[in-house]
Amino acid sequence: MKRALFALLLIAAPLHADSDLPPSRWANEQLPNARQEAAATVLMQEIRCLVCQGQSIADSDAELAGDMRALVRERIARGERPEAVRAWLIERYGAWVSYRPPLEPLSWPLWVAPVGLLALGGWLLRGRFRKRA
């Protein structure tokens, strides 16, 4: 009974159309160089999955996410800087694919907002305090 169940589970049908090929080698394997792996991990957590769009490629189970992880690891292992890999992906998919908004005119309001909000708050409070006697 156990064996039959086991076999059944192993051949259980996939739930969304997925290829029959195994994941790319570097999709689920860490780079041997710890520094490179750390840099790759940080980058993978900041790249959006194109399929499961609410997750990063580091967290997504989608096949394409696995292939993108492999791509990131391979390039970083070859010596490319993470910023260059990110830029290459943005060239293909647009700023949308990076969870870190790039520094460009479109995203300036985002980076100005914290300072602006603090300034606004400070201005609203300007009359609150009495002068130290």
Partner 1 sequence: MSRARFIPLIVFALIVVAVAWRLAVPRDDRVASRLEGQQLPSFALPPALLGKSGLRSGDLAQGTPRLLNIFASWCVPCAAEAPALMELMRRGVAIDAIAIRDRPEDVAVFLAQHGDPFTRIGSDAGSRVQIALGSSGVPETFVIDGRGVIRAQHIGPIMPQDVAGILMALEDAK
Partner 2 sequence: MIAEAGLAALWLAAALAALQLGLALGIGGAQGKAIASIRGVAVAQGMLSLAAFVALIILFVRTDLSVLLVAENSHANKPWLYRFAGTWGNHEGSMLLWVSVLAIAGAVVALFERRLDERSLSATLAAQAALALGFFAFLLFASNPFARLNPAPLEGRGLNPLLQDPGLAFHPPTLYFGYVGLSVAFSLAVGALVTRQVGPALARAMRPWVLGAWVLLTLGITAGSYWAYYELGWGGWWFWDPVENASLMPWLAATALLHSLNVMAARGGLRAWTMMLALVAFSMSMVGTFLVRSGILTSVHAFAVDPTRGSFILVLLTLYIGAALALFALRIGHVKEGTPFDPVSREGALVANNLFLSVILGIVLVGTLYPLIAEAVTGEKLSVGPPYFNATAGPLALILAALMMIGPQLRWRQDRAAIVPRLAPGVVIAIATLVATFLLAPDITLLARLGLALGAGLVPASLAPLLGRSLRRTPLAIWGMCIAHAGVAVALIGMACDSAFTREKLTTALPGEQVGVGPWVVEMRTISPVAGPNWTALEAELRASRGGGVSILRPQSRFFTEPVTTTSEAAIETVWNGQLYAVLGAQDVATGRWQIRLWWKPFVTLIWLGGVLIALGGLFALIGRWWRGYRTRRRLSEAGS
Applying CB under 8 A, the site for partner 2 has a residue count of: 47
Q: Binding marks (x or -) toward partner 1, 29..68, rule CB under 8 A?
A: ---------------------xx-x---------xx--xx
What count of residues does the chain have? 133
How far apart, in Å, do the first and last CA atoms of the chain sit? Answer: 87
Torsion, Cα 69 71 75 76, to 10 degrees, reads 0
In the list 11, 91, 115, 122, the residue contacting partner 1 (rule: CB under 8 A) is 91
Say which entry of partner 1, partner 2, none residue 91 contacts (CB below 5 to 8 A, set by partner kind). partner 1
Say which entry of partner 2, partner 1, none residue 9 contacts (CB below 5 to 8 A, set by partner kind). partner 2
Taking Cα atoms as reference points, which of 24, 78, 89 lies closest to residue 56?
89
Taking Cα atoms as reference points, which of 72, 59, 56 lies closest to residue 24?
72
- The one-letter code for the residue type at 6 is F
Cβ-in-10-Å burial (0-12, 13-18, 19+) of 67 comes to: middle
Say which entry of partner 2, partner 1, none residue 87 contacts (CB below 5 to 8 A, set by partner kind). none
Give me the residues that bind partner 2 (CB under 8 A), please. Answer: 2, 5-6, 9-10, 12, 15, 22, 28-30, 41, 45-46, 48, 52-56, 58-59, 94-102, 106-107, 109-111, 113-114, 117-118, 121-122, 125, 128-130, 132
